[in-house]
A and B are shown apart, each in its own frame.
Chain A
């Protein structure tokens, strides 16, 4: 069974601070995706990374896929209250039976 450990589980910070969320596994994944989920809604895809060592930037968000494709991080610069939400990492595997295995999420609260 492939497991993804996310840390921290909860994070409460002030507007303008920086933060990093980690996603770790002992398994290799063909891709790693990050989602954000708001209350009462489904997760929304932020990014997909597929190459070991890959770094992608989305405005104030920076995503990195580990060289061995077992871990990933999400860094947010100058967090804003609109960044509040549940951040989920998900590892892709399975070839023709491709599926995503989700981490347990990091609940981020950015206080004004």
Chain B
């Protein structure tokens, strides 16, 4: 009965590899997001999708490609991973507008 679930929880990979993180929400929300939390705990938005359409792309390198097959899913694919990509990535969802977000439990990505 998890509201926003993302997999995997942990991801350790070598530089140059390509990896994906999956996210699913069962709340019926219209909007989904990807946020990156750095080592200082700062959360920064990367992408936002509303009903499968990209509405926010916050100056993220084009090695990062989100994909939303339907409004309940938002996946994140990362090409040619770099050391600086190491962080915790959070998926979240909300109803459109001034509503609170429901976050997943995060994916800790470590690039070695």
Cross-chain contact B103 with A44 (CB below 8 angstroms) = yes
The residues of A that contact B41 with a CB separation of less than 8 Å are: 37, 86, 104-105, 107
Contact of B100 among A45, A97, A101, A104 (CB under 8 A): A45
Instruction: For residue A40, give the distance in angstroms from its CB to the closest CB of chain B.
Output: 7
**B103 contacts across to A, CB distance below 8 A:** 42-44
Complex alpha-carbon distance, A36 and B100, angstroms: 12
A33-B100 contact, Cβ under 8 Å, with A40-B105, A41-B106, A99-B56:
yes
Q: Is there a chain A Cβ closer than 8 Å to B92's Cβ?
A: yes
In the bound assembly, the distance between CA atoms of A50 and B99 in angstroms comes to 10
Name the residue on A nearest B45 (C-beta).
A99
* A48 close to B100 (CB less than 8 A): yes
Chain A: interface residue count, which band?
20 to 34
Give, as a whole number of angstroms, the nearest-CB distance from B30 to chain A: 11
The distance in angstroms between the C-alpha atoms of A11 and B46, with both chains bound, is 29
Taking a contact as CB atoms under 8 Å apart, the answer to whether A104 and B97 are in contact is no
- CB distance A97 to B55 under 8 Å? yes
Chain A residues numbered 40-94 whose CB sits less than 8 Å from any CB in chain B: 40-45, 48, 50, 86, 88, 90, 92, 94
Does B48 contact A99, Cβ atoms closer than 8 Å? yes
Q: Tell me, rounded to whole Å, the shortest Cβ–Cβ distance linking A16 to chain B.
A: 26
* 23 A-B pairs (CB sep. < 8 Å): A30-B98, A33-B100, A40-B106, A41-B105, A42-B90, A42-B92, A42-B103, A43-B90, A43-B101, A43-B103, A45-B101, A50-B98, A86-B41, A92-B98, A97-B48, A98-B31, A98-B98, A99-B33, A99-B56, A102-B35, A104-B41, A104-B42, A105-B41
